[in-house]
């Protein structure tokens, strides 16, 4: 059984092919056009998706060594994300599935990130979590602790009340004039810096929720003061600034996660989303595994940022449940009670 999966929620156009839940191909075209603007420009993103979608899907089908007529279903990201970007993937998926007379499967992008740990590249790739597990989902738009009870039953224990972790990193990087996206740049610099060189404010909020806007402001104000004394402060200290910023964010993320593990008693802990590519966060996971006997799941780098493989595996589980989408199902930018009701049992939210 072959599934074609399509992801176009933000600035990556991606297509994947799976056979019986095993990944055969995963092709992604990233968009460099946003770099000069310091962030994703929605209008440019949808135009680039239009240009990329046909070649990317063609390449995914070719790399899987199949013909499009072999496909049994088309899975696609329905939301949340940028509406103009989503519309390209959703419309393409509808037209493609219709022309082949095969069913469509709508996938929640966040559910895809959380289930990325079930992507299997071969039959003997069997290191997947069992249920329930906790997943720290950290990306440019989300920071959540999700309790995953089954493929389709997920409970958000906590989430950011303002900025996401990736957003905070990107904004601080922009303030330092380091470029976009800031995550990989900060990660690289942090490896050469002293994480205890500077101290930034950490939020003190109840429960499992996160807040990163205070940290961003604290970073900005500190930087302003230091720049008054030394106009080249950033150049002189960029490694230490990156390392200290990264440590602060990782500490905030891990503190709430430790609390969730303690309160739920669930010791299988996964990390997902673009920020899970961060080496400081990955090291913190490994350290917690050793210290607190967690069984951890860290995705391969290629499955941390947006990719169609995770949409494909989520689509595969929905296919087994015969949970198909109707042709008139609209894309959604944000999860609301209304659009959750329209599709299956998604409980993850943006
Ligand atoms: O999941 P993702 O590709 O897109 C969504 O937000 O849905 O995540 C993108 C975010 C950006 O904020 C980017 O800076 C961050 O992930 N990121 C990283 C790293 N690689 C990407 N943050 C820290 N360290 C990295 N190595």
pLDDT of residue 333: 94
User: If you measure from the C-alpha of residue 275 to the centroid of ligand 1, how many angstroms do you get, rounded to a whole number?
Assistant: 4
Residue 339 has pLDDT above 80, yes or no: no
Region 56-85 average pLDDT: 98
Give the residue from 288, 295, 325, 318 showing the smallest Cα distance to 111. Answer: 318
**Distance between CA atoms of 302 and 309, rounded to whole angstroms?**
9
Q: In what order do the strands lie in the sheet with 12-19?
A: 22-30, 12-19, 2-7, 73-79, 104-108
Residue 203 has pLDDT above 90, yes or no: no
Region 25-53 average pLDDT: 91
User: If you measure from the C-alpha of residue 212 to the centroid of ligand 1, how many angstroms do you get, rounded to a whole number?
Assistant: 15
Residue whose CA is at the smallest distance from ligand 1 atom 14: 183
pLDDT of residue 347: 39
Domains of the chain plus CATH, in order, are 2-125+306-349 (3.30.420.40), 133-301 (3.30.420.40)
Output phi, psi for 168, to 5 deg: -65, -45
CA angle centred on 261, ends 166 and 216, rounded to 5°: 25
Structure tokens at 74: 């088309």
Lowest pLDDT segment from 49-53, 92-96, 214-218, 275-279: 214-218
Residue whose CA is at the smallest distance from ligand 1 atom 10: 140
CA angle centred on 297, ends 296 and 299, rounded to 5°: 150
User: If you measure from the C-alpha of residue 66 to the centroid of ligand 1, how many angstroms do you get, rounded to a whole number?
Assistant: 32
Residue whose CA is at the smallest distance from ligand 1 atom 18: 183
Question: Which residues are 120's β-sheet partners?
Answer: 22
CA angle centred on 55, ends 185 and 100, rounded to 5°: 130
**Distance between CA atoms of 350 and 102, rounded to whole angstroms?**
29
**Distance between CA atoms of 255 and 114, rounded to whole angstroms?**
20
**Distance between CA atoms of 141 and 229, rounded to whole angstroms?**
35
Mean pLDDT taken over the chain:
94
User: If you measure from the C-alpha of residue 325 to the centroid of ligand 1, how many angstroms do you get, rounded to a whole number?
Assistant: 29
pLDDT of residue 350: 34
Residue whose CA is at the smallest distance from ligand 1 atom 2: 274
Residue 288 has pLDDT above 60, yes or no: yes
Region 263-268 average pLDDT: 98
Residue 9 CA: nearest ligand 1 atom is: 7
Residue 165 CA: nearest ligand 1 atom is: 12
Residue whose CA is at the smallest distance from ligand 1 atom 22: 183
**Distance between CA atoms of 41 and 56, rounded to whole angstroms?**
21
Residue 270 has pLDDT above 50, yes or no: yes
pLDDT of residue 276: 97
Residue whose CA is at the smallest distance from ligand 1 atom 24: 278
Ligand 1: which residues within 6 Å by Cβ? 10, 139-141, 166, 169-170, 181-184, 187, 273-275, 277-278, 305-306
pLDDT of residue 180: 84
Q: Which pTM was predicted?
A: 0.93
User: If you measure from the C-alpha of residue 73 to the centroid of ligand 1, how many angstroms do you get, rounded to a whole number?
Assistant: 29
- pLDDT confidence tier of residue 12, bands split at 50, 70 and 90: very high
Find out whether 200 and 173 touch, Cβ atoms under 8 Å: no
**Distance between CA atoms of 226 and 93, rounded to whole angstroms?**
52
Region 312-322 average pLDDT: 98
Residue 91 has pLDDT above 90, yes or no: yes
């Amino acid at each position: 059984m072959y599934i074609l999966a399509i992801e176009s929620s933000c600035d990556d156009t991606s297509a994947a092919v799976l056979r019986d839940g095993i990944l055969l191909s995963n092709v992604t075209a990233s968009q460099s056009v946003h770099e000069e603007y310091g962030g994703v420009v929605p209008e440019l993103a949808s135009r680039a998706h239009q240009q990329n979608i046909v070649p990317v899907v063609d390449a995914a089908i070719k790399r899987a060594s199949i013909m499009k007529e072999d496909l049994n279903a088309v899975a696609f990201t329905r939301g949340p994300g940028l509406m103009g970007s989503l519309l390209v993937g959703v419309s393409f998926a509808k037209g493609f599935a219709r022309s082949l007379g095969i069913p469509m499967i709508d996938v929640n992008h966040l559910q895809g990130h959380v289930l990325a740990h079930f992507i299997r590249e071969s039959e003997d790739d069997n290191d997947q979590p069992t249920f329930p597990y906790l997943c720290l989902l950290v990306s440019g738009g989300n920071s959540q602790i999700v309790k995953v009870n089954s493929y389709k039953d997920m409970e958000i224990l906590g989430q950011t009340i303002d900025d996401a972790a990736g957003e905070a990193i990107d904004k601080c990087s922009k303030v330092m004039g380091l470029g976009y996206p800031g995550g990989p740049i900060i990660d690289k610099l942090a490896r050469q810096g002293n994480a205890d060189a500077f101290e930034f404010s950490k939020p003190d909020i109840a429960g499992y929720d996160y807040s990163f806007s205070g940290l961003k402001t604290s970073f900005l104000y500190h930087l302003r003061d230091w720049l008054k004394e030394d106009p080249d402060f950033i150049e002189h200290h960029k490694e230490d600034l990156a390392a200290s910023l990264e440590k602060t964010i990782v500490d905030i993320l891990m503190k709430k996660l430790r609390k969730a593990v303690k309160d739920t008693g669930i010791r299988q802990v996964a990390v997902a989303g673009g920020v899970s590519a961060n080496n400081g966060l990955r090291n913190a996971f490994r350290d917690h595994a050793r210290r607190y006997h967690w069984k951890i799941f860290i995705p391969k780098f290629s499955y941390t940022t947006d990719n169609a493989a995770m949409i494909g595996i989520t689509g595969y589980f929905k296919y087994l449940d015969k949970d198909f989408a109707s042709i008139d199902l609209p894309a959604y930018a944000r999860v609301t009670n209304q659009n959750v009701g329209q599709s299956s049992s998604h409980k993850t939210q943006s």
